[in-house]
Amino acid sequence: RFLDVTQAGTIATAAKQIEASHGYLNVLINNAGIALDAHQPPSQLPVMTMRQDFDVNFFGLVSVTQAMIPLLKKGAPAKIINVSSNMGSLGLASDPDSRFFQVNSLGYQASKAAVNFATIDFAKELQPDHISVNSVNPGWTRTDFGGNRSGEQTVAEGAAQIVKLAADDSPDLNMTFTETAGKLPW
């Protein structure tokens, strides 16, 4: 029952277990993520650190999604919800009035921007199969993710938009980037 998104064997095992137990999948929530940048300037951030961010945040998400597509097709209408970040928004990162304008976290930010792009591409491909794909920013939530239990909101508050999308039956809800407060710029 252990899934490491960087290990193809555990992904394949998880897909086989879901198929054996249920035969299909209705909702896939890609929530694995790391941030190893420590807010270093991009000129000083080791490429290996960025590769580690990408291995989990982007390549792991793509690998799990690809492995689960056959099960999602069997469960259609189905949905994929990718947990991204407002820090992966090119619009917010390039806006001098945004709180993210001064942020240095190249590996994390670029990997989450890549998640958003994967969301768009998978959404276009899978829409004819009645599988929607959307990105969600949960916001800064009190979890161990940031290295301590600090954050602006509870886990329930952070998960609210993810749960809302998972429960939404609208066939038109596809290819969005949202948070609890509404739509975000890609």
Q: What is the pLDDT along the chain (186 residues), one digit of tens a residue?
A: 689 999 999 999 999 999 999 999 999 999 999 999 988 999 999 999 999 999 999 999 999 999 999 999 999 999 999 999 999 999 999 999 999 899 889 999 999 999 999 999 999 999 999 999 999 998 766 566 655 556 677 878 888 999 999 999 887 899 999 999 999 999
Model-level pTM? 0.93
Yes or no: say if 119 and 8 are a contact pair by the CB < 8 Å rule.
Answer: no
Residue type, 177: F
Distant-in-sequence, close-in-space partners of 61: CB < 8 Å, separation ≥ 6: 5, 30, 32, 82, 115, 118
Q: Which CATH number fits domain 8-183: 3.20.20.80, 3.40.50.1820, 3.40.50.720, 3.30.70.890?
A: 3.40.50.720
CA gap 52, 60 in Å, rounded: 10
Domain range annotation of the chain: 8-183
- Of 76, 64, 63, 62, which Cα lies nearest the Cα of 24? 76
Is 108 a residue of the active site?
Answer: yes
* Active-site residue, from 74, 108, 124, 164: 108
* Active-site residue, from 16, 112, 164, 183: 112
Is 183 a residue of the active site?
Answer: no
